[in-house]
């Protein structure tokens, strides 16, 4: 089935991998080491820098009632 799908859709990107059968808790530890930890502060600063609005951050409050 997989081989036929690859023939029918050669540009299909998603390729699921089978999980290795590992004893208690080791699979979770492996997954945790694969993820990159980014501090919430770094994410907030990156979002602020990317924002098209003024760099004043959260000082402006937008309420739906006022125009």
Q: Is 32 exposed, middle or buried (0-12, 13-18, 19+ CB in 10 A)?
A: exposed
Return the percentage of the chain with pLDDT > 70, whole number.
51
Q: Is 61 helix (H, G, I), strand (E, B) or coil?
A: coil
- Cα(34)–Cα(30) distance, rounded to whole angstroms? 7
Residue 59 maps to a domain: no
Residue 33 maps to a domain: yes
Domain housing 1? 1-50
pLDDT at 27 over 70: no
pTM above 0.85, yes or no: no
> Are 27 and 34 in contact, with CB atoms under 8 Å apart?
no
pLDDT at 55 over 50: no
Residue 56 maps to a domain: no
Instruction: Compute the radius of gyration of the chain from its Cα atoms.
Output: 22
pLDDT at 59 over 60: no
- Cα(25)–Cα(21) distance, rounded to whole angstroms? 11
Average pLDDT on 37-42 reads 76
Instruction: Decide which of 54 and 13 is more confident.
Output: 13
- State how many domains the chain has: 1
């Amino acid at each position: 089935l997989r081989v036929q799908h690859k023939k029918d859709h050669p540009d299909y990107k998603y390729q699921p991998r089978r999980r290795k059968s590992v004893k208690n808790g080791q699979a979770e530890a492996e997954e945790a080491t694969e993820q990159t930890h980014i501090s919430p502060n770094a994410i907030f600063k990156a979002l602020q820098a990317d924002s098209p609005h003024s760099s004043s951050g959260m000082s402006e409050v937008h309420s739906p009632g006022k125009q």
